[in-house]
Structure 1
Amino acid sequence: MASPELELKNLLQAERQQGYFTAAYVESGKLDQAQPALQYFTGPDARIFDLASLTKALVTGPLVHITLKAENLDVKAPLAAWAPRDISLPASLLQLTTDEVLGHVSGLPAWWNFWMRHLDERQKPTRADALGLMEKVLNRIPFGSEKKDLYSDVGYILLGYLLEKKAKKSLKPWLSEAVSEPFGYAPDLNLPKESYIPTGFCKIRERELRGEVHDENCAAFGGISGHAGLFGSGPSVSQYLKALLRDSMGVQYFEANDKVRRDTQREGLLGFRRGNGVSAALFANGNSMGHLGFTGTAFWLEWSSKKYGIFLSNRVISGRVSPRITDIRRKVFQLLDASLGP
């Protein structure tokens, strides 16, 4: 019988040859161990992925927790309790509690168009322009009274907006100061274009995206927001998760998310997502938490054992929507779990 590592290599190579993605990275290990148990990359020389919504779990979530701790508040505090005063948002929006927005149970819509007539690539917007656009659109977004479990990009755009306005600095340098992290946002990386793995042709921008965020809303904000914009290599994701484990705030962040995972049935936690859905039910017996990214990225970890698995790809290179990613992710994380043993 083939080893999990060999099966993974064969699976990823086969999918790459069929054109489903041009690059993929997998890793498994334990957060409290320096070296991974398994690490494999297939693709060109480029190594930097568009991590997409992993931004929510790796940037926005930790920064919200840092902010709450600095204000001596808990996650049930309304947004108004820590929001800056120099903003103009509806009072009803600011009365949402922080845990409702972090956990995707706020009543905010899943998505809203921020980029229409604002995705002008001739001139990159200033941060003031980007934050102004966020505020303008957030002021007219409807949200319902039913606070059901609904994954919401809008909620994390709101959180990113509040964080930047409060700190008076962009999310990337603030995170660098708060936690030692080995990756960043594409606009701040300043790497040659060839370092980035492409994510396909954008009909709106009329070019192949390489080192440019795939998400249109994030692009309209200049490439940085609370819901997307993070870029990094595969090893940088695991290095960052391990850096969180060495940081007292990071440990609190892990523990807060795992408590919600154990105490509730909701899919959204407090920055992380529950890992027992159709995409990762076979990793750590469904006891994991982590996040998915639209471009073809994912990570899951089990807090009690410190087991983790990472799968990064540019699956959007073969089409914006493909149900195949769910089946591929399940196979990948099953094999990553098997590579770690019982």
Structure 2
Amino acid sequence: MRVDPKRLERAFGVVERFVGEGQIPGAVALVGLGEQVYGPRAYGWAALEPKRRPMEVETLFDLASLTKVVATAAIAWRLLDEGVIRLDDRACAFLPGYGAGERGASGAWKGEVTLRHLLTHTSGLAAWEPLAAVPGTPEERFRRLLTYPLQHRPGTRVVYSCLGYILLGRILTVVTGQPLDQLARELIFEPLGMQATGFCPPEAVRARTAATEHAPDLGRILEGIVHDENARALGGVAGNAGLFGTAADLARFAQEVLKALRGEEALWSPAVMALATRSLTPGMEEERGLGWQLSGGRPFSPAGDLFSPRSFGHTGFTGTSLWIDPDRELYAILLTNRVHPSRENQAHLRLRPLFHNGVAAAVLA
């Protein structure tokens, strides 16, 4: 397959238009087709407040929930390949006492929660709870999470749950005896050459991060400090959020995923990636693989209308997204700081599918 240059320019032009109209402060966009990489292209501003900084192609973004797939799920894929875990392992095997002694159906259900449930957002946990409001240390806040009741029986509904991925991240550390940020670095980022990607950027790096929202608890605009309140309350490293990275690094990740799906030697086996990108939640509210959100040709997908029904990806609350179309060997990365200076901005919800439509239209046989 090949790219129609004029149509690809129109796709990038969609991003440029949204920035030029002030709908989002800035963006970095990148498209890959097979071995060819187009971009990254930088538009607008990395920060408007407290001081304007232009966006650059190497700007670091708070990847928000892309953490779930680029770090947490990616580690789980490695451990599945290596025979360290299995999907039907129960959470209580790694977190002794999880649900034990709790009354009612919810308490009994907790003993049924498996890694499969956590990876596919079918654990029964609520979407979100304010862990940041729990007084005490990060460990005390995590312990509170263990007491939260389930909303429904595991395996019966898809409810996108940040809490489930926080729990999964902790389980991965228990299994390996290593902190989540170290696991991600050693198992994923270093092997793939993702040198700019990691948790808790050091002070020296924060000057080149895209600014996010004004944080009342800190009294300032966040730059290089995780936007997600719960991840921040857990010390900046969590299974649901906390990762910072660049478009170029995400391209390396996407290329490795496609290599595995082609059956080539890659960081993950073809077997695990085939499973990770297949719907494991048929008939439920949303099609989910192991970490990935699947397009399935459904309306209102962030992938837009023209990516193939087998496409998959993930989005992040700060305005980030990664989408992959294995039928075309195509991937699109769109990183924005739409929450700067306020999360009230919702323009990214329209920008994503419009950009993806333009990208898919640019691919020729």
- How far apart are the structure 2 equivalents of 1:64 and 1:206? 36
Question: Are residue 74 (structure 1) and residue 97 (structure 2) matched?
Answer: no
- How far apart are the structure 1 equivalents of 2:243 and 2:363? 28
TM-score, scaled relative to structure 1: 0.85
Q: Which amino acid aligns with 2:277?
A: D
Report the counterpart of residue 201 of structure 1 in structure 2: 214
Aligned equivalent of 2:65, options 53, 59, 64: 53
Report the counterpart of residue 112 of structure 2 in structure 1: 95
Deviation of 1:263 after TM superposition, in Å, equals: 6.7
Q: Which runs of 5+ in 1 are unaligned?
A: 121-128
Aligned equivalent of 1:138, options 120, 142, 146: 146
Cα 1:203/1:253, change in 2 over 3 Å: farther
- SS of 1:238's partner is helix
The superposition leaves residues 270-303 of structure 1 with CA deviations (integer Å, 9 ceiling, x where unpaired) of 1111124412132423321010111111111123
Superposed, 1:35-46 pairs within 5 Å as 35-43=36-44, 44-46=54-56
Larger mean CA deviation between 6-15 and 158-167 belongs to 6-15
Higher helix fraction (1 or 2): 1
Question: Are residue 160 (structure 1) and residue 161 (structure 2) matched?
Answer: no
Aligned equivalent of 2:186, options 157, 177, 194: 177
Cα 1:169/1:130, change in 2 over 3 Å: farther
- How far apart are the structure 1 equivalents of 2:200 and 2:39? 31
* C-alpha contact (below 8 Å) 2:209/2:223 kept by paired residues: yes
Deviation of 1:105 after TM superposition, in Å, equals: 1.5
Superposed, 1:113-262 pairs within 5 Å as 113-118=130-135, 129-145=137-153, 147-179=156-188, 180-181=191-192, 182=194, 183-189=196-202, 191-244=204-257, 245=259, 246-249=265-268, 251-260=270-279
Deviation of 1:112 after TM superposition, in Å, equals: 0.9
The superposition leaves residues 249-270 of structure 1 with CA deviations (integer Å, 9 ceiling, x where unpaired) of 2544421122327976642211
* Identical aligned residues as a percent: 24
* C-alpha contact (below 8 Å) 2:311/2:324 kept by paired residues: yes
* C-alpha contact (below 8 Å) 2:91/2:98 kept by paired residues: no
- How far apart are the structure 2 equivalents of 1:252 and 1:321? 41
- How far apart are the structure 2 equivalents of 1:69 and 1:9? 37
- How far apart are the structure 1 equivalents of 2:140 and 2:173? 12
The total of aligned residue pairs comes to 328
- How far apart are the structure 1 equivalents of 2:201 and 2:99? 32
State the superposition RMSD in angstroms.
2.7
Q: Which amino acid aligns with 1:52?
A: A
- How far apart are the structure 2 equivalents of 1:52 and 1:237? 13
TM-score, scaled relative to structure 2: 0.80
Deviation of 1:151 after TM superposition, in Å, equals: 0.8
- How far apart are the structure 2 equivalents of 1:27 and 1:295? 17
Q: Which amino acid aligns with 1:256?
A: L
* C-alpha contact (below 8 Å) 1:29/1:308 kept by paired residues: yes
Q: Which amino acid aligns with 2:294?
A: R
Cα 1:52/1:301, change in 2 over 3 Å: same
- SS of 1:19's partner is coil
- SS of 1:42's partner is strand
* C-alpha contact (below 8 Å) 2:287/2:293 kept by paired residues: yes
Cα 1:69/1:8, change in 2 over 3 Å: closer
- How far apart are the structure 2 equivalents of 1:135 and 1:325? 35
Superposed, 1:291-330 pairs within 5 Å as 291-317=314-340, 319-330=342-353
* C-alpha contact (below 8 Å) 1:52/1:297 kept by paired residues: yes
Report the counterpart of residue 268 of structure 1 in structure 2: 288
Report the counterpart of residue 126 of structure 1 in structure 2: none
Aligned equivalent of 1:109, options 103, 114, 126: 126
- SS of 1:285's partner is coil
